[in-house]
């Protein structure tokens, strides 16, 4: 992923999580996180357990995500140096805003004759306690391979493992016709052809839950459709004839047959490289074992076993299949409406 794709992905995630954008710049974005995004990205379990127990209104954090570190530094230099260590007063929580007539983070001087506030508990036990709080805005670089981007990827994967969507349908005015909807189970498989090299493929398969028809590249066929999680009005969902567990078995069998038709010469070549590497390791360690002291021979033999296991794991050809996500889709049937 390049910088533009990462920025588009993060902005789509923030929009889907209903986060409020405070400042948007080509090199970075400052947002006030929504409660769901705050729980996933800031890791404050004790704070959220306190909020859930007491029922108080949550105060989410404000973060700055930097997509272009050099551009961010240039923007700060153009602004005359680093910005204040916090948000502008209008973006701060009400409890953290400085009092009128005072500078942020500076307690106004006490004027003789004015009424003094009673000492707080913290003030009596710990001395001076600052009353003006400056909100701190964490800044994270969101570049490919960064910890923050991997965290956002994980949050998207956890929430997108399964979806249940309907194709949008707006009935004509004064129309009582009912439109039939078909049920499709879609599964996105990740196939890895691995040895000392690796090739990854994504297979998007969809199965019709009435007829058992299987379509490849099903994800691409959904790109031109408008989907919604809400059940549209005036539709009729055709009953399923294939259960979901049985449909999953059919998709796995279809994918297995598809992989059997591949050219697996890469696996034979990897097997030859594995044999050569094992022979090389054997020749090296057999000499060490024969010349080692009896007290250290068992240690050298253990190293030999561990090294063979590492080589076997690295070079042995294998096909690994995993599920990225899946979904149940109700799509319009290519028939006339039912009266």
Residue 146 lies in a domain: yes
Query: How many CA atoms does the CB half-sphere of 318 hold within 13 Å?
Result: 9
What range does the domain containing 78 cover? Answer: 3-97+132-155
Q: What is the pLDDT at residue 106?
A: 44
- Domains in the chain, number: 2
Query: Coil, strand or helix: which one is 273?
Result: helix
Residues 8 and 53 reside in one and the same domain: yes
Pairing of strands 62-66, 139-141: parallel
Low-confidence ranges of the chain (pLDDT < 70): 80-135, 171-176, 334-339
Instruction: Please provide the DSSP assignment of 8-71 as one string.
Output: HHHHHHHHHTTPEEEEEETTEEEEE--HHHHHHHT--HHHHHHHHHH-PPP---EEEEES-HHH
Within-domain flag for 265: yes
What local confidence, expressed as pLDDT, does residue 218 receive?
94
Q: What is the pLDDT of residues 274-312, one digit of tens each?
A: 999 999 999 888 888 888 788 888 888 899 899 999 999
For residue 101, give both structure tokens: 């007539």
Rg over CA atoms, the chain? 31
Instruction: State residue 130's pLDDT score.
Output: 56
127 belongs to a structural domain: no
Q: Are residues 229 and 277 in the same domain?
A: yes
> 270 and 338 share a domain?
yes
Over residues 245-263, the pLDDT tens digits come to 999 999 999 999 999 999 9
Question: Would you list the DSSP string of 274-293?
Answer: HHHHHHHHHHHHHHHHHHS-
Q: Is residue 264 in a domain?
A: yes
In contact, 229 and 162? CB cutoff 8 Å: no
How many helices (H) and strands (E) in the chain?
A: 10, 11
Residue 141 inside a domain? The answer is yes
Domain match, 262 and 184 both: yes
Is the domain of 326 the same as that of 204?
Answer: yes
**Model pLDDT, residue 115:** 45
Question: Which pLDDT belongs to residue 83?
Answer: 47
**Which residue's entry shows tokens 């050219």?**
263
Instruction: Tell me, yes or no, whether 216 and 303 share the same domain.
Output: yes
Co-location of 167 and 92 in the same domain: no
Same-domain pairing of 320 and 178 = yes
pLDDT of amino acid 79: 72
| 52 and 190 co-located in one domain | no
In a domain, residue 66? The reply is yes
Residues 181 and 148 in one domain: no
């Amino acid at each position: 992923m390049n910088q533009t794709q990462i920025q588009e992905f993060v902005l789509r995630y923030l929009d889907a999580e209903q986060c409020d954008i405070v400042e948007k710049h080509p090199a970075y974005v400052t947002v006030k996180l929504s409660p769901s995004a705050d729980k996933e990205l800031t890791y404050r379990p004790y704070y959220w357990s306190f909020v859930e127990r007491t029922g108080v209104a949550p105060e989410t954090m404000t973060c700055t995500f930097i997509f272009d570190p050099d551009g961010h530094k240039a923007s700060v230099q153009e602004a005359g140096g680093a910005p204040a260590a916090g948000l502008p007063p209008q973006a701060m929580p009400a409890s953290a805003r400085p009092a009128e007539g005072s500078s942020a983070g500076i307690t106004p001087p006490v004027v003789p004759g004015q009424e003094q506030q009673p000492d707080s508990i913290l003030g009596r036990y710990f001395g001076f306690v600052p009353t003006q709080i400056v909100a701190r805005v964490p800044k994270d670089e969101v570049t490919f391979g960064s910890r923050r981007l991997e965290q956002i990827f994980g949050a998207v994967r956890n929430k997108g493992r399964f979806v249940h969507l309907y194709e949008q349908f707006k009935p004509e005015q004064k129309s009582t016709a009912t439109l039939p909807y078909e049920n499709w189970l879609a599964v996105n498989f990740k196939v890895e052809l691995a040895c000392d090299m690796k090739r990854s493929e994504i297979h998007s398969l969809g199965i019709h839950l009435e007829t058992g028809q299987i379509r490849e590249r099903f994800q691409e066929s959904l790109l031109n459709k408008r989907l919604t999680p809400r059940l549209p009005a005036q539709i009729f969902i055709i009953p399923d004839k294939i259960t979901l567990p049985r449909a999953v078995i059919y998709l796995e069998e279809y994918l297995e047959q598809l992989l059997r038709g591949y050219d697996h010469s890469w696996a034979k070549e990897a097997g030859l490289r594995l044999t050569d590497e094992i022979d090389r390791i054997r020749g090296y360690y057999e000499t060490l074992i024969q010349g080692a002291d009896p007290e250290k021979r068992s240690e050298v033999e253990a190293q030999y076993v561990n090294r063979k296991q590492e080589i076997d794991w690295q070079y042995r050809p294998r096909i690994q299949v995993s599920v990225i996500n899946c979904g149940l889709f109700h799509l319009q049937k290519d028939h006339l409406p039912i009266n």
